[in-house]
Amino acid sequence: MSTTSSIPKPELEKDTVVCGWKVIRKLGCGGFGSVYEVEKDGMSAALKTEFIDQEGERSETLRNEAITDLHNTGILHRDIKASNFAWSLERRVYLLDLGFCRRFLVWRDGKIVYRLARKRAPFLGTSKYCSINVHRRIEQGRRDDLWGWLYMVVEFFAGRLIWRNDDDEVIVKKKENIGSNLLKRCPQEMFIIYDHIRSLEYTSKPNYGLMRRQLEKGGRYFAEFKGCSDTEKEMSDDGRKTLQTARHF
C-alpha cells in the first residue's frame, strides 16, 4: 500500500467536485491522506483522500483508517457501528451520520487543548456498539469510537454479539464481565488491539500504528478487495488509485 511519506498524497483544489461533493476547504492532513470539508445538497461532510494499490485494502483496516483520520481533525464520531459505514462501487468507504459528532480538541488562550470532560455526559450512541463508558455516562473520547469499531470486528468474526437481543441492563452486565472472552473467535492479533484500547483514558491518543500493524498481521482472516471490478476497469487510472472517505461531522 502507498502510505509512506515519500509518495505524494492526492490534493484537491477548492470547488473541485468529487462524486457530487463540492470541496469547500482543506481541514488538515491525517496519517493516510488529506481531509477536506465538502458539501452536497446542503449537507456538510469530511472527505479523505489517499492512494491505494492494485490489491486494494481490507475492510476493517479501511474502517479503522476512516476513524483515525476523523480523530486527526479533532472530532469524535460517537456512534460507530456497522450501519454507519457504506461502500461505493469505486471502493470508497463512507463513514456516515453527523448527528452525534463532537470536537474533543478546542482553542483556548491561543492554543489547542483537550475539551474538559463533563462530570456526567449524556448517553449518545447505540447500546449494541457503544463502550461501557457511554453506559456509565462517562465523557467519550477517541477510545470510545474504537470500542465501537472493536465490537464491529467481533461481530464480523463471531456472526453476532452475545448481547444482540438484550435490553440495556443486561448489555451492561455482559460488557462488564466478558473481558477478553469477547475475542474468542477472533485472530490472536486482536487481543493486542483489545488490550491497547482497554488501557486508554479520555485524553489518551490511541496508537493507530499499532492497530494497523496488528490488522495487517491478521489480514489473512479479513475480507479483502482484490483487483478491479468491471465498473472500476472503466475508470481512469487516477480514479482507481484514489480512495475518498466521507465522514459527516
| Beta strands at 43-51 and 242-248: parallel, antiparallel or unpaired | antiparallel
46 contacts: CB under 8 Å, gap ≥ 6? 27, 35, 36, 37, 38, 70, 73, 75, 246, 247, 248, 249
Known binding residue 48? Answer is: yes
Beta strands in 83-174, from DSSP E residues, in sequence order: 85-87, 93-95, 102-103, 105-108, 111-114
Adjacent-strand bridge partners of 106: 113
Catalytic machinery residues: 79
What contacts 173, CB < 8 A, 6 or more positions away? none
The dihedrals phi and psi of 189, each to the nearest 5 degrees, come to -60, -25
List, in sequence order, every residue forming a beta bridge with 50; answer none if it has no partner.
243
Q: 112 with 124: CB under 8 angstroms? A: no
Nearest to 218 by CA among 183, 197, 188, 191: 188
Residue list for the binding site for ATP: 48
Residue list for the binding site: 48
